[in-house]
């Protein structure tokens, strides 16, 4: 067995050298105006407390998250900037050292969906700061009121993905109509799934019915408008795999159903929404007919994703960003979709029996095609081939998750290097630049699609979480409430049967699930808790098997 492992490591190293992704990055003096710190071997370290691996991760997450709580106002509308523009220039870019909103196509669906995951689901559980629930509620409520299609449309009661800058109503960005922007009344079905899933998660946090209703409306529209895509032409003499269409188009007119962009590889978000609705169908009284329709749609989309004309075979990862031209020739390529798929498969292995092949293939593809020359950073897409903090953090989190599953140190090293680079986008005031050569700030790239990846890394590699603080790093069920104090941590989850992972200063004296004390165990095959001692403190993992006991208490 040792010989096989050594042989595999040699083969992997050769492949990585061929791909050009194991070459040490060139050293640069500064990133985003901050002096870069390197270790003795020349590898990049985080700018904050570089001598302690991971210390910078929690620090930049706190800086970025708390910045949004005091968001600058856009003067023309009197609204926080994230309601009316995608982006702004921070004090480091303006003569008067102030904040200036930029005039560019807005992407509210991405921003608000990512904010649910980053702030309402993950950072709230990590910090216990309930202000983030209110922040996200305002975002979702604004989208529901000002960015949802009418009920008599072909795609009814679903979110618009884009809008024109400084306009308070969303109806699809019309700048350069037919090129950049979705176009009037046009939506992106993958964002219907993405924000629909976020609505559902926020319902699970708050229990507020309107968010469940919004999620169901999204799922209904997706199920009603899915397309079955034939893999090959019927003419066997001219056999040709069809790759120009996907189960849901990328851009479609919500009123008429007319398709403007035929292809999007991002079927994962609609699938996540419908799978979760099916999972909780009895609790939410979902009609059986809807459950059947959702399951049929999931099967069509998932079979296409893995089929001979799907992107896992063709690697046609195309159709995600709202501000690119229409792309009928499928010329563009993105890394966000394959890397998010890799993360999903790592966390949900039951949905792919070939995940040991697919996940490394997705990650090797992403880093070989999108790695920045001379820097441990990821470029966004072929049509905006620039390094960005959010995408570097996403790749790092995917590598960390795969390291957690496999103990392959190469993936841990990738996570460490790329996330260290991503820390440099955050300034001391909480402003997060898009990338090393793109100093303006996008709410997606700097916040909603940035914070969550750092917390994912800390959950996968808890030794990098702060040793002198208590934090919930991961929960298999959405956390509805949590309070930290010196003597105990109390929290409740949407599902009673669930698992949580904490980094703690000290080992607990006992764990309560409801009013029952559960036992320390050597494994989590049954209800109980485990403790992994680290150099300082350790990692607590709790598994509860009682669906009726949703409150837990950690007592020190």
Q: Distance (Å, rounded) from C-alpha 28 to C-alpha 526?
A: 50
pLDDT class for 237, splitting at 50, 70, 90? Answer: low
DSSP state for residue 483 in the 8-state scheme: E
Q: For residue 30, is pLDDT > 50?
A: yes
The 10 Å Cβ neighbour count of residue 120 is 27
pLDDT tens per residue, range 153-163:
999 999 999 99
Which residues, in sequence order, are CB contacts of 475 under 8 Å at separation 6+?
125, 493, 498, 499, 500, 501
Instruction: Compute CA distances 322 → 181, 261, 340, 452, whole Å.
Output: 6, 11, 17, 21
Q: Distance (Å, rounded) from C-alpha 44 to C-alpha 378?
A: 15
The 10 Å Cβ neighbour count of residue 16 is 16
pLDDT tens per residue, range 76-110:
999 999 999 999 999 999 999 999 999 999 999 99
Per-residue pLDDT, 242: 76
Angle between helix axes 55-68 and 451-460 (nearest 10 degrees) is: 150
- Rg over CA atoms, the chain: 23
Give me the mean pLDDT over the 220-248 stretch. 80
Nearest partner of 111 among 90, 78, 142, judged by Cα:
142
Q: Domain 471-555 has what CATH class?
A: mainly beta
The 10 Å Cβ neighbour count of residue 197 is 26
Query: In this structure, what are the phi and psi dihedrals at residue 127, rounded to the nearest 5 degrees?
Result: -105, -25
pLDDT tens per residue, range 328-371:
999 999 999 999 999 999 999 999 999 999 999 999 999 999 99
Residue pair 263/202 in contact by the 8 Å Cβ criterion = no
pLDDT tens per residue, range 413-463:
999 999 999 999 999 999 999 999 999 999 999 999 999 999 999 999 999
pLDDT class for 177, splitting at 50, 70, 90? Answer: low
Instruction: Compute CA distances 352 → 270, 298, 306, whole Å.
Output: 17, 14, 9
Q: For residue 280, is pLDDT > 90?
A: yes
Per-residue pLDDT, 317: 98
CA angle 323, 328, 329 (to 5 degrees): 110
pLDDT tens per residue, range 510-546:
999 999 999 999 889 899 999 999 999 999 999 999 9
Per-residue pLDDT, 21: 53
Domain with CATH 2.60.40.1180 in the chain: 471-555
pLDDT class for 180, splitting at 50, 70, 90? Answer: confident
Nearest partner of 264 among 200, 328, 176, judged by Cα:
328
Exposure of 354 by Cβ count < 10 A (0-12 exposed, 13-18 middle, 19+ buried)?
exposed
Per-residue pLDDT, 8: 44
Q: How many helices (H) and strands (E) does the chain have?
A: 17, 23
User: How many residues appear in the chain?
Assistant: 556
Residues 375-406 as b/e (b if ≥16 CB within 10 A, e otherwise) read: bbbbbbbbebebbbbbbbbbbbbbbbbbbbbe
- Rounded to the nearest integer, the mean pLDDT of the chain is 94
Residue pair 307/300 in contact by the 8 Å Cβ criterion = no
Exposure of 249 by Cβ count < 10 A (0-12 exposed, 13-18 middle, 19+ buried)?
buried
Query: In this structure, what are the phi and psi dihedrals at residue 337, rounded to the nearest 5 degrees?
Result: -70, -50
Query: In this structure, what are the phi and psi dihedrals at residue 336, rounded to the nearest 5 degrees?
Result: -60, -40
Residue pair 544/496 in contact by the 8 Å Cβ criterion = yes
Strands (E), 39-192: 44-45, 73-74, 79-80, 87-89, 100-101, 186-187
500: three-class secondary structure by DSSP: strand
Q: For residue 509, is pLDDT > 70?
A: yes
Per-residue pLDDT, 243: 86
């Amino acid at each position: 067995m040792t010989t096989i492992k050594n042989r595999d490591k040699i083969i992997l190293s050769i492949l990585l050298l061929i791909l050009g992704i194991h070459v040490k990055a060139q050293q640069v003096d500064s990133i985003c105006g901050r002096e870069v710190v390197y270790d003795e071997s020349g590898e990049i370290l985080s700018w904050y407390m570089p001598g302690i691996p991971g210390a910078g991760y929690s620090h930049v997450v706190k800086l970025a998250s708390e910045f949004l709580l005091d968001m600058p106002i856009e003067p023309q509308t009197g609204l926080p900037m994230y309601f009316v523009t995608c982006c702004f220039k921070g004090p480091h870019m303006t003569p008067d050292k102030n904040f200036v909103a930029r005039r560019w196509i807005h992407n509210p669906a991405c921003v608000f969906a990512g904010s649910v995951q980053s702030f309402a689901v993950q950072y709230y559980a990590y910090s216990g700061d309930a202000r983030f629930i209110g922040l996200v509620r305002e975002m979702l409520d604004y989208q529901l009121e000002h960015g949802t299609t009418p009920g008599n449309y072909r795609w009814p009661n679903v979110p618009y993905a884009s809008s024109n800058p400084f306009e308070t109503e969303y109806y699809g960005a019309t700048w350069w109509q037919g090129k950049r922007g979705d176009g009037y009344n046009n939506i992106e079905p993958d964002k219907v799934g993405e924000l629909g899933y976020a609505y559902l998660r926020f319902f699970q946090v708050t229990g507020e019915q309107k968010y469940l209703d919004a999620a169901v409306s999204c799922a209904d529209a997706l199920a009603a408008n899915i397309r079955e895509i034939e893999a090959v032409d019927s003419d066997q003499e001219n056999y040709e795999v069809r790759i120009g269409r996907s189960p849901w188009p990328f851009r479609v007119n919500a009123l008429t159903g007319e398709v403007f962009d035929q292809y999007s590889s991002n079927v994962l978000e609609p699938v996540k929404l419908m799978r979760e609705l099916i999972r909780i169908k009895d609790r939410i009284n979902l009609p059986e007919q809807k459950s059947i329709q959702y399951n049929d749609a999931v099967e069509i989309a998932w079979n296409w994703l893995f089929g001979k004309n799907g992107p896992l075979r063709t690697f046609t990862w195309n159709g995600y960003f709202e501000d690119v031209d229409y792309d009928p020739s499928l010329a563009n390529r993105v890394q966000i979709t394959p890397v998010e798929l890799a993360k999903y498969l790592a966390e949900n292995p039951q949905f792919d029996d070939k995940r040991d092949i697919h996940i490394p293939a997705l990650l090797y593809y992403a880093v070989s095609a999108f790695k920045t020359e001379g820097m441990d950073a990821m470029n966004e897409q072929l049509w905006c081939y620039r390094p960005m903090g959010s995408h570097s953090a996403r790749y790092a989190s995917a590598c960390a998750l795969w390291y957690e599953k496999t103990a392959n140190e190469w993936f841990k090293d990738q996570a460490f290097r790329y996330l260290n680079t991503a820390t440099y986008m955050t300034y001391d005031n909480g402003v997060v630049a898009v990338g090393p050569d793109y100093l303006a700030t996008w709410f997606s790239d700097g916040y909603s699609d940035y914070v969550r990846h750092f917390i994912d890394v800390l959950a996968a590699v808890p030794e990098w979480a702060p040793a002198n603080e208590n934090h919930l790093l991961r929960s298999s069920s959405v956390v509805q409430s949590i309070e930290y104090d010196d003597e105990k941590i109390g929290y409740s989850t949407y599902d009673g049967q669930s698992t949580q992972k904490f980094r703690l200063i000290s080992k607990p004296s006992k764990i309560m699930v409801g009013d029952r004390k559960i036992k320390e165990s050597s494994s989590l095959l049954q209800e109980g808790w485990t403790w992994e001692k680290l150099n300082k403190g350790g990692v607590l993992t709790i598994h509860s098997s009682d669906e009726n006991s949703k409150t837990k208490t950690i007592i020190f």
